[in-house]
A and B are shown apart, each in its own frame.
Chain A
């Protein structure tokens, strides 16, 4: 990444123009041409630095609920458990972490009952019974902008 790339990245994470010619407008802000911005963005997507460009939503304002779950899964059952969990489109993040509660995933759905039922089914299918469901009581911060 060069300094132009960094300038572009710092600009487009939270302030991508909602305009007819967004790359031209970005170019004006950054003193670059539309083509320069577009080719830098295209290259950073190809290199995997940019995962996607688009909208990120407040799930609660779309009347969806979200939660964080953690499960204690013995090593030999991890693959099967992860497969059962990841099958759900509402599971958006899933990580192995260094704790007896070793599998941590986020789950978004239209209501909590759906999630509770899904967790019950996952338990029945995999034999894993220790699953924590930790819905948020209060959000203090969510910020996914990185200064690069």
Chain B
């Protein structure tokens, strides 16, 4: 389990690491621990799988991925695991989740794909559809971004991403 120090560390490293030759030494100083302790704790949080990834997050548009689509699939219940496993193997699929259908919304499997254009996203969807032999799907393109941020865990100032 994580303790109070881990929580402080998490609330620091969910921001943006300063571009400095010893960035972790700067962070450690902020919460009154040594650089060595901070590095060990971060490595341990990684090993425990609490940190899923430590690194740079890109702005997709600036990095050449100008279109993203969520594809909602209507999969037969007994085939969800099989289809989800197939979809997860595609390089273009960044997220794949099984979610329960609801009310007037029968879709139960969701993939997020990124491509250079909407047309490319459509082609990826067709390839996914053929590979898993599932026809019933909906392409949901993002037309406008209202919010995109990282979660602020254990943080009092939720809105400030910078460290």
Q: Is the interface of A mostly helix, strand, loop or mixed?
A: mixed
* A110–B77 CA distance with the chains assembled, in angstroms: 29
Select one of B54, B94, B148, B158 contacting A18, CB under 8 A.
B54
Whether B60 lies near A146 (C-beta < 8 A) is: yes
Given known contacts A49-B59, A139-B96, A146-B63, A61 and B50 CB-to-CB distance under 8 angstroms:
yes
Given known contacts A20-B25, A89-B158, A12 and B55 CB-to-CB distance under 8 angstroms:
yes
Give the number of chain A interface residues (Cβ < 8 Å).
73
- B128–chain A nearest beta-carbon distance, Å: 12
- A10–chain B nearest beta-carbon distance, Å: 10
Interface string of B113-125 (1 = CB under 8 A from A): 0100000000000
Q: What residue of chain B has the Cβ atom nearest to residue A64's Cβ? A: B153
Interface string of B131-163 (1 = CB under 8 A from A): 000000011111111111111110000110101
How many A-B contacts at CB < 8 Å in the complex?
229
- Of A53, A90, A99, A103, chain B has the most CB atoms within 10 Å of the CB of A53
Q: Is B48 an interface residue when CB atoms closer than 8 A count as contact?
A: yes
Q: Is B76 an interface residue when CB atoms closer than 8 A count as contact?
A: no
Chain B contacts for A20, CB-based, 8 A: 22, 24-25, 35, 39
Q: Can you list 19 A-B pairs with a CB-CB distance of less than 8 A? A: A12-B55, A22-B23, A49-B62, A51-B59, A53-B16, A62-B50, A62-B153, A82-B147, A85-B146, A95-B144, A96-B144, A98-B143, A132-B102, A137-B97, A139-B98, A140-B87, A141-B87, A141-B88, A146-B60
